[in-house]
A and B are shown apart, each in its own frame.
Chain A
């Protein structure tokens, strides 16, 4: 009999390496040096690390945007059809309105035409963009782009959401709005993994974190565990990264 309390792993990376070749002489550059990471169902998981540590590459490898040089990547959900992704500093199609863009994304998931319009209305309401639904994306502010980016990541009602720096560059109101969206997703049982340098947001939202440094996961565990060892998450992060 399976343990009913046993939680499902929705993303599992084991000993993932990624080497790219750069420059004219195709010099090898190892970005990931054996990343081990497991994300359980319904968690809000924070992926932390200094710039260039490999956070974005880890997400890209998880999505298949980049291929792992070695190691295994397993999605515990039913393929990319059940995954949502918000890229860092998102840029979308300038010439489309918010509604047209979401319609385009919904069609990529082959959503039935009869539910498409209703789904788009729901998403626009959830991210507070009903008033800008017909405005072209080139006229959107950074905060609005971030919110439409989250809406496109939710268009397929995903089980797993990967958000790359969702709060970066937003003003305090924009940050609060994005945090509320993540909280609502958590309440609905969605699994969220996000990268961030804003440790107060990570503290507020995440139950679990992993710290990546120089292409390796150097610490992972519960936020509460980290706070047992240091006064603040920032202190803990600095101690782990500089150790």
Chain B
């Protein structure tokens, strides 16, 4: 357990001290602030526009940070030969993969908290009252990104960092669509297509199930009980994907 904490803490330090991350976050904050200008030209819908644009920006920049860092986490250790230091000690491959994941989860929590609180403050400024649902939406973006981090780490154990980044983004996009694809194929009568879409639905995490952006922007009532179950599903998905990544990584030699 102490090993796992050490690897996670080291990964957190590695990623949080990366200057590229600081540049991306500053750029993200500028983009979110750009929502103020969009709000100004939206004829009385400033708050709504700010929330909508801001949450999309948080998702986009969160995705960039998550995918690109996750894809390079394992490769950096191998390329720079720091794996020799790790695996010449009694460190298991499972502790390594899990520690890397948890460390990046910590970094993403800081990054999303920063962006989320900034957006929350801007929305408060525009509406004159706090909208805590904005923070809830950012939390759900964080849950989505946890699944993407796990998937990207999994792909990085199979191939190059670039391939893992591309596939991580593809899974994010597919995760927004898999539910709709399944619903559409059910309308038709082709059993092969329906079976295929079921396979995709099972393999790709259903990210739309925890996407509450539209509900928060439209100030609708959200079914949090059901959303909580989907959060549990995504966390279980993360565990399975990390276990598979460990199995593959165990076969590697250095």
A binds B: yes
Residues of A within 8 A of B (CB): 60, 63-67, 79-81, 83, 85, 87, 90-93, 95-96, 100, 104-105, 107-110, 152, 156, 162
Closest to A108 in B: B89
Instruction: Enumerate chain A residues within 8 angstroms of B13, measured Cβ to Cβ.
Output: 95-96, 100
Most buried by A among B9, B13, B90, B253: B90
- Shortest Cβ distance from residue A83 to the other chain B in the assembled complex, whole angstroms: 7
Pairwise interchain contact B91-A93, C-beta atoms closer than 8 A: no
Pairwise interchain contact B253-A108, C-beta atoms closer than 8 A: no
Is the C-beta of B85 less than 8 angstroms from some C-beta in chain A? yes
Q: Contacts A87-B85, A95-B14, A95-B17 known; A107 to B90 CB distance under 8 Å?
A: no
Interface size class of B (residues with CB under 8 A): 20 to 34
- The listed residue (A91, A95, A110, A162) touching B3 by CB distance below 8 A is A110
Other contacts beyond A81-B90, A108-B86: 7, CB < 8 A: A65-B84, A67-B253, A80-B88, A81-B89, A87-B88, A104-B9, A107-B6
- The listed residue (A63, A107, A152) touching B5 by CB distance below 8 A is A107
Instruction: Enumerate chain A residues within 8 angstroms of B91, measured Cβ to Cβ.
Output: 108
- Shortest Cβ distance from residue A81 to the other chain B in the assembled complex, whole angstroms: 5
Closest to B99 in A: A108
Q: Contacts A65-B88, A79-B90 known; A93 to B5 CB distance under 8 Å?
A: no
Pairwise interchain contact B82-A91, C-beta atoms closer than 8 A: yes
Pairwise interchain contact A83-B2, C-beta atoms closer than 8 A: no
Pairwise interchain contact A109-B254, C-beta atoms closer than 8 A: no
Pairwise interchain contact B80-A91, C-beta atoms closer than 8 A: yes
**Nearest 6 Cβ contacts at the A-B interface:** A107-B6, A85-B88, A87-B84, A80-B90, A66-B253, A95-B17
Q: Contacts A66-B254, A108-B3 known; A92 to B82 CB distance under 8 Å?
A: yes
Pairwise interchain contact A65-B254, C-beta atoms closer than 8 A: yes
- Shortest Cβ distance from residue A193 to the other chain B in the assembled complex, whole angstroms: 13
Q: Contacts A65-B253, A95-B13 known; A105 to B88 CB distance under 8 Å?
A: no
Closest to B76 in A: A93
Pairwise interchain contact B10-A80, C-beta atoms closer than 8 A: no
- Shortest Cβ distance from residue A99 to the other chain B in the assembled complex, whole angstroms: 13
- Shortest Cβ distance from residue B176 to the other chain A in the assembled complex, whole angstroms: 34
